[in-house]
Amino acid sequence: MFRFLTKTATQIFRNTIRTFSGHLPSDIGSTFKDDILRYEVAVIGGGIIGTAIARQLKMNCSSLKTILIEKEDIFGKHQSRNNSGVIHCGIYYRPGSLKAKLCQKGIKSLYDYCHQREIPYTKNGKLITATDVREIESLKTLYERGLENNVDGLELLETMDKILEKEPRCKGLRSIWCPTTGNVNFEMVTNSFAQDYRMKKGDILLNNNVNSVKPSGDQDYPILLKCNENFHIKTKYLITSGGLQSGKLYELIRGESICNSRIFVTFRVNYHILKGKPVKVNIYETPDLELPFLGVHLSPTPTTTLLGPTAVPAFSVEGYNEEELNLKYLRNTLTSPNFLNMTRRYISKCLTQVQRRLCPADYVMKLKKLADFNEDDICNGPVAVQTQLLNADGTFQDDFVFEFFEGNDIQKRIINCVFLPSPAATSCLAIAEYVAKHFFDEYNPKR
């Protein structure tokens, strides 16, 4: 009976791989020893980052035996689909930070990639706008930061005429003009990466949640992954890019969910849609430079304008609905000193976000200071969830976080993409190159 069940499970597994890889690699049969699949590297997470990394590994070494594992039935179902769709020019980030470096490099690669693959995109520019004299100093600081980051073509627009030349609907006092900003559907980019990877004969396993990462006891393939359908995969190396689930993956690998005294907290993000002719360019408010958030904005889509967003703490890790409640997650978050320090530190900003969510009139007023539109044309838009990493003192982690082969035992064979918030979608190709470089510096497969 047991043998029959094992055989049936193996057959289902083979079919799953066959179905989702679009082909059956000629040597996959030889990997079925003891009904366990063996790989040189497994990538967990089929968002824009995981697909970009898997693709890059195969581009660098086509014979590398790889598997990309995704828990959903499609790629990019979470952050890679639900975002603002803005190709960021790299102005905001602390000079020298990973965000600044990888965004600068990534934006060029992304435009080239979209052009080559005929993925629709625009390079229509962005106005970052001061609507109040008190914001002008911050705007100038941001402009200087952009120059330090070598962002192409920045201009400080000091008169209304110059602003209106760029966007007749903008209402700012002063603006920074960022000509290299653009818009794209990142879900299409994700699917295109997955397609490239598939063409390079990389294996894909959809509908499988990795719920255990343990030593296998096998010297050659020391990491054992278990998926929800009880499939077992042995691998020499592992790369994780779990997006919203980074906290859970961190816990599977390290046995604790706290990353260097930082905790993962999720926020529910609500957008609105402005019907009618889209704005010509992206219009952003002047951000609060103390926080790693870009503020509210208007961004064109092919047929409408995306407005927003507002962000309030979610009640579960994938808490897209207000009713979705995970008591364990909620208890751990609300009682952590990090969260309490965050609310204390940013109390007035937290209240503004809650007020904007509960009383949209206030938030519409802020948007109307940025651009001229008819508020009757606004309707509810998409909902997203985003993860933040909160430091012990309540401040937000403001750079990308990776762990490369850090720790003991199997941890020495793991690259963990711990925290990749915006502008990670813009930077995806540069991130993939960065991770692949670390990987091949460590592992030298027979090419």
Ligand X SMILES: Cc1cc2nc3c(=O)[nH]c(=O)nc-3n(C[C@H](O)[C@H](O)[C@H](O)COP(=O)(O)OP(=O)(O)OC[C@H]3O[C@@H](n4cnc5c(N)ncnc54)[C@H](O)[C@@H]3O)c2cc1C
Which residues make up the interface to ligand X (CB under 6 A)?
A: 44-50, 69-72, 76-80, 83-86, 88, 209-210, 241-245, 249, 269, 384, 386, 420-426
In this structure, the chain runs to a length of 447
Nearer of residues 94 and 140 to ligand X, judged by Cβ: 94
Shortest Å distance, C-beta 49 to ligand X:
4
Shortest Å distance, C-beta 178 to ligand X:
13
Nearer of residues 360 and 421 to ligand X, judged by Cβ: 421
Shortest Å distance, C-beta 428 to ligand X:
7
Nearer of residues 191 and 245 to ligand X, judged by Cβ: 245
Cis preceding-peptide flag for 287 (omega within 30 of 0): no
Nearer of residues 244 and 342 to ligand X, judged by Cβ: 244
DSSP letters, 323-386, are T---HHHHHHHHTSHHHHHHHHHTHHHHHHHHHHHH-HHHHHHHHHHHB---GGGEEEEEEEEE
Nearer of residues 174 and 313 to ligand X, judged by Cβ: 313
Nearer of residues 173 and 385 to ligand X, judged by Cβ: 385
Nearer of residues 64 and 306 to ligand X, judged by Cβ: 306
Q: Which helix (H) or strand (E) holds 445?
A: none
Shortest Å distance, C-beta 195 to ligand X:
16
Shortest Å distance, C-beta 105 to ligand X:
13
Nearer of residues 292 and 421 to ligand X, judged by Cβ: 421
The number of helix segments (H) and strand segments (E) in the chain equals 12, 19
Structure tokens at 88: 């960021």
Contact 69, 397 (CB under 8 A): no
Whose CA is closest to 20, among 46, 49, 53? 46
Q: Exposed, middle or buried, 45 (CB in 10 Å: 0-12/13-18/19+)?
A: buried
Alpha carbon of 236 to those of 141, 206, 285: distances in Å?
47, 21, 47
Structure tokens at 430: 């540069």
Q: Which residues are CB-contacts of 84 (< 8 A; sequence separation ≥ 6)?
A: 271, 297, 299, 306, 309, 422
Shortest Å distance, C-beta 69 to ligand X:
5
Residue 286 DSSP symbol: P
Contact 94, 399 (CB under 8 A): yes
Q: How far apart are CA 94 and CA 145, in angstroms?
A: 7
Shortest Å distance, C-beta 44 to ligand X:
5
Nearer of residues 306 and 342 to ligand X, judged by Cβ: 306
Displacement of CA 336 from its chain's centroid (Å): 25
Q: How far apart are CA 419 and CA 264, in angstroms?
A: 9
Shortest Å distance, C-beta 425 to ligand X:
3
Nearer of residues 131 and 245 to ligand X, judged by Cβ: 245
DSSP letters, 44-57, are E--SHHHHHHHHHH
Displacement of CA 46 from its chain's centroid (Å): 11
Nearer of residues 173 and 419 to ligand X, judged by Cβ: 419
The number of beta carbons lying within 10 Å of the beta carbon of residue 37 is 24
Query: In which residue are the tokens 């979209």 written?
Result: 114
Q: Side chain identity at 68, as an amino acid letter?
A: L
Contact 130, 149 (CB under 8 A): no
Shortest Å distance, C-beta 417 to ligand X:
6
Shortest Å distance, C-beta 384 to ligand X:
4
Q: How far apart are CA 188 and CA 192, in angstroms?
A: 6
Shortest Å distance, C-beta 261 to ligand X:
22
Nearer of residues 298 and 424 to ligand X, judged by Cβ: 424
Structure tokens at 355: 């007020």
Shortest Å distance, C-beta 209 to ligand X:
5
